[in-house]
Structure 1
Amino acid sequence: MKYVVLAVLALFMCTQIGWSYQPSQEYLSVAVEPGQTVWQLASVAAGDDMDVRQVVNEILEDNGLTGTSDIRPGQILRLPIAPGRAEQVRTALARQLVDQ
């Protein structure tokens, strides 16, 4: 009986951990528009809680770029974003293009 209780308790703990797990970071693929820079993309992707310089470095690494001038219009880049911010980032990038 003791082993059954321990097994049920272990199963319960594992399911609770699984339900509460959320990835600490997501990625969003975007097509580079004319005039956009890595810094602009990173500043939108970073939001308020991340250092833009760190996001620039992550974008460069994740996309195999050697410098911030290596991007061109139409190129697809993978941007690191916080979980749940994909729509917010898409909207901000679209607004940025309209304002140019």
Structure 2
Amino acid sequence: MPRWLLRGRPGRGSARGARPGPLFGACLFVVGAGFWWASGGDIRRWRDWRTITGQTAAVTVVGPLAIRLGMLLIVLGVAALGLYHLVDTASYGSWLHSH
């Protein structure tokens, strides 16, 4: 790993870089679920953006978008964290440590 990428990080062996993804994804999921609940059943897709007539109607599009992005971040973050632990526990001579 390049040294400029490791600069300012608290230790090389920590998995702190993988935690904000799932945490931010969970927050985005909760916000999206709140928007979905607030829209009261009038859920629209991204392609329906031009059908919005009022200022508060944007919630009907942003709610499902936030839920989808939140789930994507949760899945990718957990997968990255799992891959980090898989590589971290592998022995030094294994194919996971080859360059």
By percentage of residues, which structure has more helix? 2
For the aligned pair, the TM-score class normalised by the smaller chain equals: under 0.3
Structure 2-normalised TM-score?
A: 0.27
